[in-house]
A and B are shown apart, each in its own frame.
Chain A
Amino acid sequence: MAHFTKAKSLHDWLNQRLAIDTLRRVLATEYWIPKNINFLWAMGMVLAITFALLLVSGIFLLMYYQPNVDLAFDSVNYTIMQEVGYGWLWRHIHGVAASVVFLIIYIHMFTGIYYGSYKKGREMIWISGMLLFVAFSAEAFSGYMLPWGQMSYWAGMVITNLFSMGGLQLDGLVEWIRGDYIPAQAFLNRFFMLHVLLIPLAIIGLIVLHFGALRIPHVNNQDGEEIDFEAEAAKYKAGNKKESKVIAFVNDFMSKDMMVVSIYLIFFFYLVFYHYDFAMDPVNFDPADGLKTPTHIYPEWYFLWSYEILRPFSTNVGLIAFAFAQVIFFLLPFLDRSPNAVPASRRGLFKYWFWAMLIDMIILTGMGKLPPEGIFSTIGLYAALLFIGLWIVLPFITKFEKKV
């Protein structure tokens, strides 16, 4: 057993037992971040803050929400929105944050792709990040079921139907997932459990893994420069902060993060109070009705691109394309054969690949919401084919990339 002395202060008392000084040094004041970064490097903190907003608002909503098919809709739209003090505020924060968190995730992902931050030892950062994306997607989908409106019900119907795997006709699997032949009480209960317990636990675990994965390879920088962190840290500690290529996580990096966060929060709360409709589909303000299919069924905007990869093909081909779209991003670090871990602008054909992928996904997103008719359907088909094609050519164009 360690030797304990009579503490001189509360700080000392805690330090002897929890090593708080060491923790602070390792996690904050001597956790080194490159200096050559732009505001896109703050998206991690923006995501952490948004997740905190989701968690806190979710806890408040949980106190009044009723996971019952007869009560759920009214508990959200009447009890929470109109009776509970500031219930409307928590709901709008929750709804808007659920949508905005995906915007930030996509910005964060494309930042990683642009700067090659998934290469040279940073593969696990990318993979854990993709796992987080999947977990957030499941969290968003399960949460969307809870108000038990028309879109909850029919999106639940359509998406769980995918698990019949088209021609395989695994209807038993669909029933097992739903706990019933159609989305009903058992379905609502299990998605409630997933939304408030299992998936949030997974998300928190994955966030820890994602942070942990950063530790050894360190954060990338704007020019993909390889930095000798120990040498640069030594300069910093010796007082040569200006020459050093690194900064401390606290307060240096944190102060820049908080500046970005503060500007982000102005945008966020503007949406919460004045422009929340985009995040809360009008159709979902009609109570669920299993006898009345809405004219248009579409997922929330952040799923539209993969929905559009599913839609233009026949059932089986569509499902295969959809499955491809779901897993292919995980493989990015291995499909990119180039040794260059530098910004896309310095990477030959990959530069064009990056912008083509970004624009293609935006086109898919736009077409995914529109009715699959006429010109929109054709554009969607070609955009989906382009998406698949871009991934197929990726290993070839990167293999022949010149070393910089």
Chain B
Amino acid sequence: MKELLILAVVTFFTLVTYYLVEPFAHSQMHKHFESDGFAYKDLPAVTKKGDASRGKDLVSACIGCHGIEVAGFQAPMDAVSAAATFGVNPPDLSNAGVVFDEKFLANLIKNPAHALMVEHKFDPAKGQMHPMSEYYATGDDKEQEVADIVAYLRSIAVKQEELTPKMAFETACGRCHAVNYGNWTQIGEKPKFKKKQDELAFETQLLDYQDYLAKYMGTLPPDLSMYIRSRGEHYIETFIENPQNYLKGTAMPRVGVSAESAEKVIEHLKDVGDSKRHERETVGKYVMIYMLIFAIFAILWKKEVWRDLH
């Protein structure tokens, strides 16, 4: 019984130390935010019911800058030229309807800088125009037209269950962030090259793109390969929901992903930064079972040996 008391004392002081250096220290060092479930409460709800067939005609307003590959619209410019013009390559809209939240999309079309939370960077009064212009209605019901465009984008996108983590990541994050461990660059997946010249040409393009991007954002957005370990799931989730939470004044826009897509983006970061997590769980279970059996035998052995000693 004395041994149990000693064990209790040792455990107590160990846990106090652990509490101080881990949960307590981190609670003091880092701001903590809770997720709103990607509700985007600050944005007004969509009041009109959209009609995809009307939206199909209205997207002509978008394809001057955006590609919509599934609908047969190629992007008007390659990634590097687009970045030279806009600072960043505008996304292909094929899956925008599923990756981004419906309400967010509608508000984005109406007022990009506001929905993206980058009004501190783009103030029309000072002549700082956001590269994506506000939608100008062709008729007199702008709300209805915006709803129609959103409905169209949702109609052409893949279904939520067909959207892979990788697709979600590429559409939402991939034009600014590279993921070296996933072989992803801001201008797409890095192909295997047969000729050194081709590889150098690709890298030149990438460096050009990164230069334009860095100028646009103020700094080159970081590679996200290990973010699942360096920031953790909770931080990433609450960060993409509202980047201004942690980094007041950051140039990173609120990208407006839906709750389901946010989960997929995080899943993708796990796939590239913690790809052995499933194996870890399986092996962990077996090792724990092994250690328990080992402990039973060790205890029996001790009892056997000490029977003669007491």
Interface residues of A (CB under 8 A from B): 35, 38-40, 74, 77-78, 81-82, 86, 88-89, 92, 103, 107, 241-242, 247, 251-252, 255-256, 258-259, 261-263, 265-266, 269-270, 272-274, 278, 280, 282-286, 295-296, 301, 304, 358, 362, 365-366, 369-371, 376
Contact = CB atoms under 8 A, between A and B. Distances in A.
A301 B230 contact: no
Given A77-B225, A272-B287, A366-B17, 14 more contacts: A39-B6, A77-B226, A78-B180, A88-B280, A252-B309, A255-B306, A265-B295, A266-B291, A273-B283, A278-B18, A284-B230, A304-B21, A358-B13, A366-B20
Interface stretch (B92-100, B103-111, B202-210, B296-304): B296-304
A284 B28 CA distance: 19
B136 interface: no
Contacts of A255: 298, 301-302, 304-306
Contacts of B10: 40, 107
Given A40-B6, A258-B302, A370-B25, A266 B229 contact: no
Given A278-B18, A369-B25, A259 B284 contact: no
27 contacts: A38-B3, A38-B6, A39-B3, A77-B226, A78-B180, A78-B181, A86-B283, A88-B276, A88-B280, A251-B305, A252-B305, A255-B305, A262-B295, A262-B299, A263-B298, A266-B295, A270-B288, A273-B280, A273-B283, A278-B21, A280-B229, A283-B230, A285-B230, A301-B17, A366-B24, A370-B28, A371-B29
B183 to A, nearest CB: 11
Given A286-B226, A362-B17, A366-B25, A82 B298 contact: no
Given A38-B3, A269-B291, A282 B29 contact: no
Contacts of B13: 358, 362
Interface residues of B, number: 50
B309 A262 contact: no
B245 interface: no
A242 B310 contact: yes
A282 B301 CA distance: 41
Nearest to B2: A38
Nearest to B29: A296
Contacts of B280: 88-89, 92, 273
A370 B230 contact: no
A40 to B, nearest CB: 6
A265 B310 contact: no
Contacts of B305: 251-252, 255-256
Interface in B212-226: 225-226
Interface in B15-37: 16-18, 20-22, 24-25, 28-29
A103 B14 CA distance: 8
A379 B19 CA distance: 17
Contacts of A103: 14
